[in-house]
Structure 1
Amino acid sequence: MSENTLTYPGGYAYMMERYDGRREPFDFGSEDLPPLDVNLSVLKTVVVTEQAAKKGPADPKTSWARKRRQIAEEFIGLSELAFLNAQLISNLRKRDSPPQTTALFCRLWAEESEHLIAELNLRWLVSSAQTFADHGDTPAQREAGQGLRMLFGMMKLYEFERTFSGLEPSKEHGFGKRLKTRLPLDMESFSLVHGGLDINILAPIWEMGKSDPVIAPLVDHLMQELIEEPGGVFRRLAQMRAKKERQQARQ
């Protein structure tokens, strides 16, 4: 096998270089994130203003100051607590961050999950869940976070590619054009009516998430959103399964 036949020429070395290249820590200068014992109740009541997204004459010229303003654009009108959660996530994606970052992120979700779930949009809720994969306090938090990171990451890739089919996310495929061909990596085909792969993917993640009181509210919320979503591969498979069962019942 030559380099030209690889999906990612260079293999592991190339992928790690690309992955690590996005993890350079922010330059904080003389700034810092809030301390671990910051009053979260106060942050819940303070709203992010438009000024937080604008550069002031006294603002430091650091990579963190620029990033903080960029994040602030998404949180105008929302609480400072929700804004802080996003700042912590952005730092935890890097190779290094202020020493209190991980503990503060876990404290936010241990004490204020109800507020955060109400304030954050789905994108930031998913990012929060994924952050637990590397920074959760317990094995259950890290395992559930890793499961959600893989689940939503693969869904994003697949759903993006599917947009090129010309079909709406809620529109299932018909049966007439299916190709009976080799699946990648010689995987066995999925049984539409009797197969349980979809449930076997989702149920263990949900179960693991519910076993930990800190991450449980977040996992519950995201998995409920997933099964209520009118589009996506899992809903389409359910629609196709129901259609196939109706066809078989008429035979």
Structure 2
Amino acid sequence: MARDDADGIAAHIAELNDLCAQMEGDLLLSCEDLAGDLPGRAAKRRIYPQLMRHLNTLRNGLRGRVVFYFFTREANAWLRSAYVQSLKHHKKFRSFDGFLGFLNNTDGIWDGILARPRAKLGADFIEIPYQEGGDFSAIRALLEVILGDGATEELDMKDARRNSAPSDEVVELLELLNSSGASLEAIRAAKKSLLTEATPKVEFLDADPSEWPPAKRKPDWLSEDLIPLWSRVEARANWQLQPDLMPPFDCDLSALRRRPMDAPDTFPEGGRNHMENQVKILAYRFRGMPEICYILGLTISYLRRQTGHEEHATFLFQRLWNEEFAVLLGVLPTRWLISTFQTFMDHGVNENQRLIGAAAYFMSNTLKLYEAERALDGLPPGRPYPNVAPATKSGFWGLDRFQVGGTDLMLNSNALLLELAARDDTAGRVVQEFMLRLKKSDTAFSRMDKTRYVNKIEHPQFSNCWSFHIPPDIKE
């Protein structure tokens, strides 16, 4: 009915009339959205503006007496329920106050919405109070009104579905997802994961771990010019005596998925050298996010060090990315995806994970360097380049230069990274999310595409060499 499809509505009503003619007695029909779209689902600010029209369409089209049963719920509880439904399926609102602010006046909503049905339909419009609480059954309440008090006592209704709602903690995390910069695909998957039960646990790892700490054998051919840099290599992952503050190997990650991280909103004192301080810093960084994000940060912190706890940290790291990847990908800032890439590079349980991690780590950090330089130059990230060919001399002898639209560098870089990502599901999913974020962001890749697009540049040899193999979606 909401689509104003007159022919379709007439056809459905004809089917209902045929069904009624084939049956004896009364026919009970249930339609969740008969009143219209839930508030916030569409662009309209009025609540159920077409309710009376829908009721008249059915009353005039169906044969015989038509009685409508309408559940009325305490207004604030009903509006909050509608808000939660919006959070589950849409990204429009980030707070209940914002949801209420979008709607027209919500004071006395039932009196305003139901005034006309009450006046026009009289006894054929019956209101059923909806009671809050887990023991209330809408089906039982409806049948009691239709059949009379006590009429359902003999009915077996133990399997009747109860109206369940997410916990306040899960609602808080759904709100967080609506503020996330992750891909829409990841946000949808994260919401679904928050609303489902536990995922299967990883019981063991078929692991071929890399050497840790990494080998630091200074090669004979090392140039003297690079000896200062080699000192940084030698300082990586030296032995540290640290306590193991990680949760048990078999901890219930699905419970931590639904629990926001509780931490003070002031940055803790003390440095990162001691894990007792680092856990406080991580708690601060991940406050308000699902607690699994904090656990991930904790495992990464241990795997940056040599502490003797690598087996424990690696197992939890792999469990997180096998069991809880949906929520992690929907919530984590990109900086933690990059940290994850380095951890796969150093501690992947197979060669493919290590290869994927290395490729994604260097790709993402090189991009980070480009975008930092762009910001230091004071240039907007989405502005096309003023030139379509190099306007200065190269500062790196022999490094190739190219004109906009005259290279497949961006396309090949992305295609090769995606090819590598396909070699391992666990690491590959993280790379895919990074690439989806890259695709929708303003970066060197999009600037190249946009500059080519607005200048209508076509080199036959590179006609299809856009960064993601398709022209950019640019709003004119």
Same fold (TM over 0.5): yes
- Of 204, 213, 232, which aligns to 1:18? 232
Q: Using the alignment, how far apart are the partners of 2:239 and 2:228 within structure 1?
A: 20
- Give the CA deviation at 1:138: 2.3
CA pair 32-236 structure 1, distance change in 2 beyond 3 A: same
CA pair 238-54 structure 1, distance change in 2 beyond 3 A: closer
More helix by share: 1
Aligned partner of 1:39 in structure 2 is 252
- Of 274, 282, 289, which aligns to 1:71? 282
Aligned partner of 1:238 in structure 2 is 449
- Give the CA deviation at 1:238: 0.8
Aligned residues of 1:210 and 1:219 also touching (Cα < 8 A):
no
Q: Using the alignment, how far apart are the partners of 1:176 and 1:246 within structure 2?
A: 9
- Of 413, 436, 439, which aligns to 1:227? 439
- Give the CA deviation at 1:49: 1.1
Listed one character per residue, the Cα deviations across residues 17-55 of structure 1 (whole Å, up to 9, x for unaligned) are: 2344464455424x4322322222222233321259887
- Give the CA deviation at 1:103: 2.3
Q: Verify: 1:145 aligned to 2:354, yes or no.
A: no
Structure 2 gap ranges (5+): 1-222, 460-476
Aligned partner of 1:85 in structure 2 is 296
Q: Verify: 1:135 aligned to 2:347, yes or no.
A: yes
Query: Does the residue aligned with 1:161 lie in a helix, a strand or coil?
Result: helix
CA pair 162-19 structure 1, distance change in 2 beyond 3 A: farther
- Give the CA deviation at 1:170: 1.3
- Of 379, 382, 387, which aligns to 1:167? 379
Listed one character per residue, the Cα deviations across residues 172-201 of structure 1 (whole Å, up to 9, x for unaligned) are: 221289425245140222242231011111
CA pair 144-176 structure 1, distance change in 2 beyond 3 A: closer
TM-score by length of 2: 0.45
Aligned partner of 1:197 in structure 2 is 409
For the pair shown, which has the larger CA radius of gyration, 1 or 2? 2
CA pair 20-38 structure 1, distance change in 2 beyond 3 A: farther
Listed one character per residue, the Cα deviations across residues 47-88 of structure 1 (whole Å, up to 9, x for unaligned) are: 321259887xxxxxx810101101111111222211000111
Q: Using the alignment, how far apart are the partners of 1:64 and 1:16 within structure 2?
A: 27
CA pair 183-175 structure 1, distance change in 2 beyond 3 A: same
Aligned residues of 1:193 and 1:244 also touching (Cα < 8 A):
no
CA pair 247-202 structure 1, distance change in 2 beyond 3 A: closer
Aligned residues of 2:353 and 2:424 also touching (Cα < 8 A):
yes
Structure 1 gap ranges (5+): 1-8, 56-61
Query: Does the residue aligned with 1:73 lie in a helix, a strand or coil?
Result: helix
- Give the CA deviation at 1:157: 1.6
1:99-114 alignment runs, 5 A limit: 99-114=311-326
- Of 420, 424, 443, which aligns to 1:212? 424
Higher RCO (CA-CA < 8 Å; seq separation 6+): 1
Q: Which amino acid aligns with 1:107?
A: R
Aligned partner of 1:126 in structure 2 is 338
TM-score by length of 1: 0.81
Q: Which amino acid aligns with 1:33?
A: M
**How many pairs were matched up?**
235
Q: Which amino acid aligns with 2:347?
A: H
Moved more, 219-228 or 62-71: 62-71
